[in-house]
Structures are given as C-alpha cells and as structure tokens.
C-alpha cells in the first residue's frame, strides 16, 4: 500500500472518530430535538462514507503519479472536517460538563408554569421568588429582605436551599417547586474571569472599604461581591451584568471561561428537559415584572408589611394563572 494512501486512511479514521465524538456529545446535550440530532448524525455518516469511498476505491488508472495525487483531496477534506468536528464536540463537551454541574434535576419534564426560589449563599443578599408562565411568556419576580421575619425568625437563619425556599413560599402563599442558588465565591470568580463587569447604580453608597457612585461602576470580582452584599436590588444588578456579558460577544471568544464561570456561580434543580423548554420559548422575549416586599426594620429583623405581601401574592398568582 502506498504511504500516501496509508496517511489518507489514518486521517479518515481520525476524522470519523471526531464525527462520532461530535454526535455523542450532541445527543448528551439534550437541548435539540431527536430529529435534529438524527439528521446531523446522518450527515456526519454521509461525509465519512464519501471520503472513505474516495480513499479506498480502486484506482481508475495505473499511472503512479495519478494514484498519488488522488489522495490529496480526501486528506485535506478529512483534516478540515475532523478539526471542525473536534472543535464542535469540545464545545458541546464543555457545555455538558457545565450543565451536569449546574443542573440538579433528573427526569423532570417541562411544565407550563414554574415557581422558582432564587437564593444566595456566602455573602450576597439576593432572595426572591419568581413565577414563570411559558404559555403567556410572563415572569413576575418578588424580592424579599434577607432579614425578613418569617414565623418569627429572619430568613437569613434558614438553611439555603429547601428550608429557605419553603419559608419564602409560606410568606408569599406559593409552593416553590424549583430552586436556583447563587454562590458568592463563584460570583467573584465569574466576574474576575470576565475581566470585570459594568454596573449602573441608582445611588452612591459604601460597603466596607469600597465606595460606589451613582451611575456606571466598573467592578472586579471582590468589588462585585461587596456591591451585591449591599442589598437584594444590588445583587440583582450584579447578576444581570454577569448574564449580559455572558450573552454578549465576549462569550463567543471565551466560551470555556464562560461555561466555567456559570458552573461556579450557581446551582439549580431544573432538569435539561425543563431548560430546553424555557430556552425554546425564548426567555429574552418574556414580559417581566419586578416587585419588592417591604416592611419595618428592627433589631430582630424586618417585619413584612401585610399590604406589600398581599400585593406580591397577587402578582405571582396572576402570572401562574395566565392573567
């Protein structure tokens, strides 16, 4: 066998392995329909078969120079297709690892409505309940003070996770069936990974050694953590800035860094099926409404105002009922 034919066959084998890797990671990804995955698999198989036919078919001529030249095209094609498949497979593999780290839900099917408890741990001050209706494309987010008194104890004394979610649910008259937890240490790492974020503050304030002015503030990870610790509203501003940067052109050129930041910043019990449903509906097109529970501050904590709690319940219920 000619050396060039051996090289062409080896390149074809490597390319085929890369295509198989791509299809496997695509199937694991789970955010595309089975039909799309099958079509891509068929295309990959067709490309592999076409190049294999060019490599292994019998020579049409006995001319030695012709038999050497005819392997050049398949070799170039195999290298190009192999690199593309390997690159795409790597991106999917990184995404799959991130989703495995972030998504805790297993076997949960997509629903029309979700009541989501949004919590923080490790220094930030973000506590809220969101009602999501995928049919009407509406979201209502109700934030609550981190020291709000629920059943006589401040929210901050409840364990982050199921206990805190149940406490906020009891206050607002809903059952939080999904949870998203923001991790302070991961938020700091995420912001540093992105070389900082820009946050527009409605007011000037000081947290420890850090002074923030009304208007645009450029924050590194430590500064972002201090800013977020000031209030629930500030934590939401920082989180929004991180999400905005992740969905900007920066993520396209720093994909691995973006996925690593996501996995370090939050965990949730949404499943891939539910995430697929939400992404398919286009969250950016949803109508969003924000409301904050208020109350009277004291040494023991913030006693929630009955009127604001009632208004918050109404907003959540309206979204869940499709109104």
Residue range 91-142, pLDDT digits in tens: 777 666 666 655 555 555 556 788 888 887 765 566 888 888 888 888 888 8
Instruction: Write the CA distances from 140 to 113, 163, 169, 178, 277, integer angstroms.
Output: 12, 22, 14, 15, 18
Partner residues linked to 104 by β-bridges: none
Mean pLDDT for the chain overall? 77
Partner residues linked to 217 by β-bridges: 199
Query: How many other C-beta atoms are found inside a 10 Å radius of the C-beta of residue 197?
Result: 26
Question: The CATH number of 113-320 is which of 3.40.630.190, 3.40.640.10, 1.50.10.10, 3.30.360.10?
Answer: 3.40.630.190
pLDDT over threshold 60, residue 292: yes
The answer to whether 193 and 184 are in contact (CB under 8 A) is no
The answer to whether 268 and 103 are in contact (CB under 8 A) is yes
The answer to whether 150 and 117 are in contact (CB under 8 A) is no
Structure confidence at residue 294 (pLDDT)? 84
Q: Where are the alpha helices (DSSP H) in the chain?
A: 3-29, 34-56, 64-69, 72-102, 162-172, 184-193, 221-229, 232-246, 249-253, 255-265, 272-281, 306-320
The separation between the first and the last C-alpha atoms of the chain, rounded to the nearest angstrom, is: 73
Could you state, in order of their start, the residue ranges of all structural domains in the chain? Answer: 3-102, 113-320
User: pLDDT tens across 195-242, in order?
Assistant: 888 888 888 998 888 999 999 999 888 888 888 878 767 877 887 787
Structure confidence at residue 84 (pLDDT)? 80
Residue 285: exposed, middle, or buried by beta-carbon count in 10 A (0-12, 13-18, 19+)?
Answer: exposed
The answer to whether 63 and 2 are in contact (CB under 8 A) is no
Q: How confident is the model at residue 275 (pLDDT cuts 50, 70, 90)?
A: low
Alpha carbons within 13 A on the beta-carbon side of 284: 4
Q: How confident is the model at residue 5 (pLDDT cuts 50, 70, 90)?
A: confident
Torsion of the alpha carbons at 120, 125, 129 and 135, rounded to the nearest 10: -80
Residues 44, 47, 51, 57, CA torsion sign? positive
Query: How many other C-beta atoms are found inside a 10 Å radius of the C-beta of residue 132?
Result: 24
pLDDT over threshold 70, residue 281: no
Structure confidence at residue 270 (pLDDT)? 72
The answer to whether 280 and 137 are in contact (CB under 8 A) is no
Q: Where are the alpha helices (DSSP H) in 121-231?
A: 162-172, 184-193, 221-229
């Amino acid at each position: 066998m000619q050396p060039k034919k051996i090289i062409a066959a080896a390149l074809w084998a490597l390319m085929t392995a890369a295509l198989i890797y791509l299809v496997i990671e695509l199937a694991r990804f789970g955010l595309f329909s089975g039909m799309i995955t099958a079509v891509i698999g068929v295309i990959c198989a067709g490309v592999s078969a076409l190049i294999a036919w060019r490599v292994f078919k019998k020579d049409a001529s006995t001319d030695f120079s012709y038999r050497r030249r005819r392997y050049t095209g398949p070799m170039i094609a195999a290298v190009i297709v192999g690199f593309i498949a390997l690159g795409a497979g790597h991106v999917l593999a990184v995404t799959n690892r991130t989703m495995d780290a972030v998504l805790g839900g297993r076997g949960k099917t997509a629903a029309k409505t979700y009541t989501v408890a949004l919590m923080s741990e490790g220094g930030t001050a973000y506590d809220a309940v969101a009602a999501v209706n995928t049919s009407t494309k509406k979201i209502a987010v109700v934030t609550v003070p981190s020291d709000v008194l629920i059943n006589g104890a401040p929210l901050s004394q409840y364990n982050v996770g199921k206990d805190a979610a149940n406490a906020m649910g009891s206050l607002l008259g809903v059952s939080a069936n999904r949870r998203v937890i923001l991790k302070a240490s991961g938020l700091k790492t995420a912001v540093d990974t992105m070389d900082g974020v820009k946050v527009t503050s409605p007011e000037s304030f000081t947290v420890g050694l850090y002074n923030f002015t009304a208007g645009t503030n450029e924050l590194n990870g430590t500064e972002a953590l201090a800013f977020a610790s000031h209030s629930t509203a500030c934590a939401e501003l920082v989180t929004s800035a991180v999400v905005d940067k992740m969905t900007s052109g920066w993520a396209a050129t720093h994909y691995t860094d973006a996925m690593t930041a996501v996995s370090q910043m939050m965990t949730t019990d949404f499943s891939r099926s539910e995430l697929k449903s939400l992404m398919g509906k286009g969250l950016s097109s949803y109508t969003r409404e924000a409301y904050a529970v208020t109350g009277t501050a004291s040494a023991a904590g913030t006693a929630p105002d009955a009127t604001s709690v009632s208004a918050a319940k109404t907003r959540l219920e309206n979204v869940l009922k499709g109104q």
